[in-house]
Amino acid sequence: MESAPQVMPDPMASPSTRASSVLIGRQDYLSVLLRLTEMELYKIRRRTMSRVLSIISIIATISLFALIALAAFLAINNGTSPENVRSFTEALRLPRSLALIEQLLLTLGQILIIILVSTIVGGEYNSGTIRLMLTRGPSRTQFLLSKVGAAITCIGIGVVAITIIGVLTGLLLNLATGVAPDFAFFTVTWSVHVLLYLLIIILGLFTYAMMALFLSTLGRATATGLAGVLTWSFLIEPVIEVI
């Protein structure tokens, strides 16, 4: 009894057939850009650097409010009048705590976002992955815009998260001081103002992030973005303000 001849697959015959079975998604400009942005966010989430920066920001926020609460406890033990204690601990309660969070975001948060953006751009050149990415189809503009999208996403998440952590930490520590919070200010108008307030902070941090992104792209190194933006922020800007 004869058996049917076995047909061996030809490895050189059908690359298009094999490729057609792979789900690659829509190839329009916006879809590719969104997938690149998701990829950038995934890489940021997997980086040890981003985790370290997140931990630093959380510890700094909690420590700042803890120092104010500690100073309030010492003032109470030294017999400070309740009026002075209440005035001193206003930074632990809304709405004054938002101003404290703003200062933290515009100082430490600015440094952290500059480090993050400079790293995600300069790291591509250091590891050589940017050349590999450009051979896969996306244009340089799409690749750059995906970095911008990832940066604004990280800034928005960071600002909202630090604001929530700061407000909750301040309220919890304020309970230990014995000063009752007053929420008479809480209205719809105030909520809208807070939203605009946070958007302004996000826009301010986004400006420095874009400076770091473009300097790191031009210099093709992380150090270029870090040195350039930090020099501008802490040396050139203060001199311009004085002049």
Name the band, by pLDDT with cuts 50, 70 and 90, for residue 81. confident
Tokens at 12, concatenated: 């050189």
Residue 174 within any structural domain of the chain: yes
Residue 22 within any structural domain of the chain: no
Report d(CA 86, CA 92) in Å as an integer. Answer: 10
Predicted pLDDT at 57? 95
Residue 8 within any structural domain of the chain: no
Task: State which residues form the domain around 134.
Answer: 28-242
Residue 15 within any structural domain of the chain: no
Total domains in the chain come to 1
Are 216 and 225 contacting, i.e. CB atoms less than 8 angstroms apart? yes
What would the DSSP string read from start to end of 35-48? HHHHHHHHHHHH-H
Average pLDDT over residues 38-43: 89
User: What pTM was computed for the model?
Assistant: 0.80
Residue 1 within any structural domain of the chain: no
Dump pLDDT digits (tens) for 84-127. Answer: 878 888 888 888 899 999 999 999 999 999 999 988 887 766 65
Dump pLDDT digits (tens) for 184-230. Answer: 888 899 999 999 999 999 999 999 999 999 888 888 778 888 888 88
